[in-house]
Amino acid sequence: MEKPSARRLHPNVWIVTATSFLTDISSEMIVYLIPLFLANALGVRMAFIGLIDGAAETTASLVKIYSGALSDKLGKRKWLAVAGYAISTVAKPFLFFANTWGWVLGIRFADRVGKGVRTAPRDALVAASTDEINRGFAFGLHRAGDTAGAFLGICVAALIVWLTQTNESLLSVNTFRIAVLASVIPAVLAVIVLAAGATDLTKSESGAEKKLLSFKDLNPRFKIFLLITILFTLGNSSDSFIILRAQERGLTVLHTMFMLMTFTAIYALLSSPLGSLSDKVGRKKLIVGGWLAYAVVYLGFALANAGWQIWMLFGVYGIYYAATEGVTKALVADLVPEAQRGAAYGLFNAAIGVTALPASFLAGLFWQGAGTWTGFGPSAPFFFGAALALCASLLLWLRVK
């Protein structure tokens, strides 16, 4: 087998990677501060925090189905992706004015609609710009760039927290607003880079000639993989609960930022090597390994009794992300013909996003149930996630050949 090489990658891969790098600098400056802002500054209860995350992701996921299918029909991956990044960029500054959880929900909804518009066309553009030999490497490189941006964004957020916070334990409104304003600059640059640099490679076809993807047309292996992914995602609640768990176990806001930097550094460093490894040993082995790592880490989150334990486990959590995020998208490209990949990525991302609503809402109810009729508490969402991850790993290993 020919060895994957960065020199053989199409310029689109580098442009999309740079776009994601800039976008994640912007996003990660504020995304992990949002649950702290809701809980500390606005006094929002856990069930509502889960609902906000889940509802925004789920509603936006419906957009991914249409956006992906439309990109197949038009053969215009680039400009749909540009439009999606632009929507998120326009929505972001409004967080500066947010003073109720309804404001945050509306802005998160708009931001996730932008993500819904861009994700499937962007992934299809990367897939169209690579061959099977380099596909895992290309998606891994994209995830590495994305996560390197996240690392830098968290570093900037940590600096803002250090310079502006007066209370180490609770996030202030002033700190959050400064982070929001700073996040706008890289978001604007990301839109400019993609609009100026990327090139569409898929030719459009007439509606009479074009066969769009329907569920009955799916590769049986892809159908099974999709259903197993839904099972896994039902236990994969928003990472906001990990952030709040860290705070509940004693980490300060600044220490939480350092914990996130540890996670993103490991994620960024391992994404490209593990993506390349999937080209050699197969996608399924990497995904099963990643899901098993997830199960172990979530069990650790449930049992942890100190903040430093959450910090250590969150670093290992980066291995799960590195082994699965890019590799699952490469597997989708392996299973679906190029002309239908936009719709396939739309279905795949939508399945994950739609399941995010019950996953996060259930996690919030489990957490909030401490001392009530449920008898649950902060450990319950993590026990639940670990159990479903183990079931999904076993099914993937046995059912996807």
CB 92 within 8 A of CB 23: no
Highest mean pLDDT among 61-65, 199-203, 218-222, 302-306: 302-306
**Residue 266: count of CB within 10 angstroms of its CB:** 20
Look at 41-45, 57-61, 114-118, 163-167 and tell me which has the smallest mean pLDDT: 57-61
Q: What is the pLDDT of residues 261-295, one digit of tens each?
A: 999 899 989 988 998 898 888 899 999 999 999 99
Read off the CATH number of the domain in which 170 is found.
Answer: 1.20.1250.20
The predicted model gives 44-54 an average pLDDT of: 75
Q: Which residue has the higher pLDDT, 119 or 193?
A: 193
Q: What is the pLDDT of residues 112-121, one digit of tens each?
A: 889 889 988 8
User: Is residue 3 a part of any domain in this protein?
Assistant: no
User: Is residue 333 a part of any domain in this protein?
Assistant: yes
Output the average pLDDT for the chain. 86
User: Is residue 207 a part of any domain in this protein?
Assistant: no
Look at 166-170, 328-332, 343-347, 383-387 and tell me which has the smallest mean pLDDT: 166-170
pLDDT recorded at residue 322: 92
Give the structural domain span for 268: 12-199+216-399
The predicted model gives 171-188 an average pLDDT of: 94
User: Is residue 206 a part of any domain in this protein?
Assistant: no
Q: Which residue has the higher pLDDT, 201 or 321?
A: 321
User: Is residue 208 a part of any domain in this protein?
Assistant: no
Reported as a pLDDT band with limits 50, 70 and 90, residue 166 is: confident
User: Is residue 226 a part of any domain in this protein?
Assistant: yes
Q: Alpha carbon 60 to chain centroid distance?
A: 13
In this predicted structure, the answer to whether residue 208 has a pLDDT above a threshold of 70 is no
Domain count of the fold of the chain:
1
In this predicted structure, the answer to whether residue 376 has a pLDDT above a threshold of 60 is yes
Those residues whose C-beta lies under 8 Å from the C-beta of residue 113, and which sit 6 or more positions away, are: 59, 60, 63, 87
User: Is residue 211 a part of any domain in this protein?
Assistant: no
In the Cβ-directed half-sphere of 47, how many Cα atoms lie within 13 Å?
7
Reported as a pLDDT band with limits 50, 70 and 90, residue 39 is: confident
Pairwise CA distance, residues 342 & 127, whole Å: 10
In this predicted structure, the answer to whether residue 170 has a pLDDT above a threshold of 90 is no
pTM for the predicted model, two decimal places? 0.75
User: Is residue 210 a part of any domain in this protein?
Assistant: no
pLDDT recorded at residue 76: 79
Q: What is the pLDDT of residues 76-91, one digit of tens each?
A: 789 999 999 999 999 9
Question: Which residue in this structure is represented by tokens 């600059």?
Answer: 185
Q: Which residue has the higher pLDDT, 178 or 31?
A: 178
% the chain with pLDDT above 90:
40
Q: Which residue has the higher pLDDT, 188 or 132?
A: 188
